[in-house]
């Protein structure tokens, strides 16, 4: 009996040794299949931000970024429409909203009632020019700004002005290298925005010469936002110096391909990978951390899409975020 078991065990071991190369060969294929499937695993994240810039009532901000929308992406469009019952007081869009001229009308339809909510936006590179195929390994070697698409003669321009007009007809404010001010839910919201730093289009605006309403004298809380597509450190430093309570950006795709328990490998800009997505602080720790005094809030969205030529995400699901801002005493 022992000899029989020994022979059976030896046969199984030999079979295992013979098959393990085939099993290993299937790992990349399985990872690629998962990465493709994950591009449709949309999620709405919720985060809480404590700031003295709001009053006794919470202020809810919907942060949208990096849709890279094509009109054929029906699953993404359906998911956007499914958000129609989410209650928000302000929408901030941080660019790379489209990847095709034909995506503007589907985007308008999918945004639906959010175009009736106060909103502000800036653009990214793929709102100016259509994406092109690139070797994905170049993404791992450093930021791609040295060969930006808008500098290349073969780049296909997109109807950026038409996209901006559509959003503005909904009442959203274009923050391209400018400042703006609104009142929503009893909060005076001022904002400073820049054009895409990844394309070197950013020109930080000076203080407005026009007098602003003295809402502080009326007892309104004052929230100051910074808005950019790509969170380059030079822009974050400028917004921090400008006194922003919260800075919102996108561009990183959260790393797009992450390693479980390690996180993003790259950010495609000079931001450190620990801040590739979600809430953090700038220039130091989060303001609610023990060592976060002197920092401001930074929220980097992992975004809802990818380039049409790199339709894969791994350990980094596509997302939009509702940020609920509360006063310290209400936290």
How would residue 155 be classed by pLDDT, with cut points 50, 70 and 90?
A: confident
Give every CB contact of residue 4 below 8 A, 6+ residues apart in sequence.
none
Strand-pair category, 43-50 with 90-94? unpaired
Domains of the chain: 39-330 (3.60.21.10)
Q: Which structure tokens are listed for 35?
A: 């990465």
Give every CB contact of residue 178 below 8 A, 6+ residues apart in sequence.
192, 193, 205
* Number of other residues whose CB lies within 10 A of the CB of residue 205: 16
Does residue 186 contact residue 223 with C-beta atoms inside 8 Å? no
**Measured distance CA(166)–CA(185) in Å, rounded:** 24
pLDDT tens readout for residues 309-327: 989 999 999 999 999 999 9
Does residue 117 contact residue 59 with C-beta atoms inside 8 Å? no
Please give the pLDDT value at position 150.
44
pLDDT tens readout for residues 82-133: 999 999 999 999 999 999 999 999 999 999 999 999 999 999 999 999 998 8
Question: 227-256: b or e for each residue (b if 16 or more CB lie within 10 Å)?
Answer: bbbbbbbebbebbbebebbbbbbbbbbbbb
Please give the pLDDT value at position 33.
80
Residue 274, pLDDT above cutoff 60: yes
pLDDT tens readout for residues 168-204: 999 999 999 999 999 999 999 999 999 999 999 999 9
């Amino acid at each position: 009996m022992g000899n029989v078991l020994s022979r059976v065990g030896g046969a199984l071991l030999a079979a295992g040794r013979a098959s393990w190369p085939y099993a290993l060969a299937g790992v990349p294929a399985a990872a690629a299949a998962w990465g493709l499937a994950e591009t449709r695993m949309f999620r709405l994240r919720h985060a809480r931000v404590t700031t003295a810039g709001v009053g006794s009532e919470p202020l809810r901000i919907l942060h949208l970024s990096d849709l890279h929308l094509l009109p054929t992406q029906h699953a993404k469009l359906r998911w956007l429409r499914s958000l129609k019952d989410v209650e928000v007081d302000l929408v901030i869009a941080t660019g790379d909203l489209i990847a095709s001229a034909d995506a503007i009308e589907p985007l308008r339809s999918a945004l639906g009632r959010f175009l009736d909510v106060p909103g502000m936006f800036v653009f990214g590179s793929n709102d100016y020019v259509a994406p092109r195929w690139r070797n994905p390994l170049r993404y791992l070697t450093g930021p791609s700004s040295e060969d930006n698409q808008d500098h290349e003669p073969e780049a296909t321009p997109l109807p950026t002005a038409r996209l901006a007009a559509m959003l503005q007809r909904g009442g959203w404010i274009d923050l391209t290298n400018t400042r703006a001010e609104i009142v929503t839910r009893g909060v005076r919201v001022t904002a400073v925005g820049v054009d895409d730093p990844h394309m070197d289009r950013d020109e930080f605006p000076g203080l407005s010469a026009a007098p602003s309403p003295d809402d502080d004298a009326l007892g309104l809380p004052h929230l100051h936002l910074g808005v950019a597509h790509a969170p380059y450190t030079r822009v974050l430093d400028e917004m921090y110096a400008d006194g922003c309570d919260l800075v919102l950006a996108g561009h990183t795709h959260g790393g797009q391909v992450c390693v479980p328990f390690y996180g993003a490998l790259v950010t495609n800009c000079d931001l450190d990978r620990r801040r590739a997505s979600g809430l953090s602080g700038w220039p130091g720790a989060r303001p609610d951390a023990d060592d976060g005094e002197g920092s401001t809030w930074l929220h980097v969205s992992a975004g809802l899409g990818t380039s049409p030529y790199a339709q894969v995400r791994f350990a980094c699901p596509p997302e939009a975020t509702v940020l609920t801002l509360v006063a310290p005493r209400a936290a």
